[in-house]
Structure 1
């Protein structure tokens, strides 16, 4: 995946689903369900049980073109392992050495940042987009303030984003939003399929509403 491909996917889909879970089997099922239901830009956090195995098996199932990434990538070694497992992009919680490593591997990077200095550093390190994290720290007003000095930077707010705030961030100029718990819930740890289905429908409708 090229950086332009990831940006295009984020701008089109407006959602980055974040999967974390304690059960590799259900985490894999969660990833596949999300993609098959149309929420097809998905990050598997490396805090997930057997995350690299989940990414590898999801890649085998979904094929080479799926926008499947690895999240909570902190070290250069983790970036390498994510690439070997089949991740198409990486997401970091901050501007760590993993950003430059993933860039050098040819992988798009969503680098975590919350201050103007961190945003500038992420851009300097070659980040494809900035993961505004934790977005809940400053809310929508913080995103608006950052977009003034960084109008060309694609921002993806993550952390405390639910259906209501997702609309607000997207209306304020976010390229996409990253959503974990409010979308995935406990599905990746064996939770209710029915509840997961309702949340998928809600967020899919939200993304279609914003895109229209």
Structure 2
């Protein structure tokens, strides 16, 4: 997947589901449920138990129905490991060595940044888009402030994004939003999948992707 394809797909999807859990099989079931409900972009955090295996297993379950990326990717070794597992894009929490390594391997990278200097540096290194993190510190108004000097930078706010914040960020020009615990809850650690499906439909509806 090229950076252009990644940006186009996430721009249409609007929602990036962030899966982080303490049970590998529960994380896989969570991903499958999300795809069945209509999510097409999923990130598996490397904090998830057996994360690389989870990425591979999700790919086997959902096939071409969704794009599966790896999150909390910090080192060059992390990039190599998740690329071998089949990750189609990389998400970082900061301007780590993983950014340049993902670019070198032609993997689209959503680079974690917060300040204007970090935003500029990430894009200069070849990031496809900026993961505005932790977005909750500045909120939607901070996104608007950043977009004034960086009108062409694709921003994806992550961190504390509930349904209301998702709508606000998207209305202020975010390419998409990353949603973690407000969506996933405890599902990826063995929790209630029915409740997850309900939350998934609510998020999709709030983003205008489902009636």
TM-score range, shorter chain: over 0.9
Residue aligning to 1:18: 18
Alignment of structure 1 residues 59-208 onto 2, 5 Å: 59-63=59-63, 66-208=66-208
1:184-205 C-alpha deviation (Å, 9 max, x unpaired): 1111011112211210110111
Give me the CA root mean square deviation.
1.4
Question: What TM-score, normalized by structure 1, do the two folds share?
Answer: 0.96
User: Runs (4+) of structure 1 moved beyond 6 Å?
Assistant: none
Alignment of structure 1 residues 49-60 onto 2, 5 Å: 49-60=49-60
Q: Kindly indicate whether the alpha-carbon contact (under 8 Å) linking 1:13 and 1:207 is maintained by their aligned counterparts in 2.
A: no
Structure 2: gaps spanning 5 or more residues: none
Give the superposition deviation at 1:140: 0.9
Structure 1 CA distance, aligned partners of 2:64 and 2:116? 35
Question: What TM-score, normalized by structure 2, do the two folds share?
Answer: 0.97
Structure 1: gaps spanning 5 or more residues: none
Q: Kindly indicate whether the alpha-carbon contact (under 8 Å) linking 1:140 and 1:172 is maintained by their aligned counterparts in 2.
A: yes
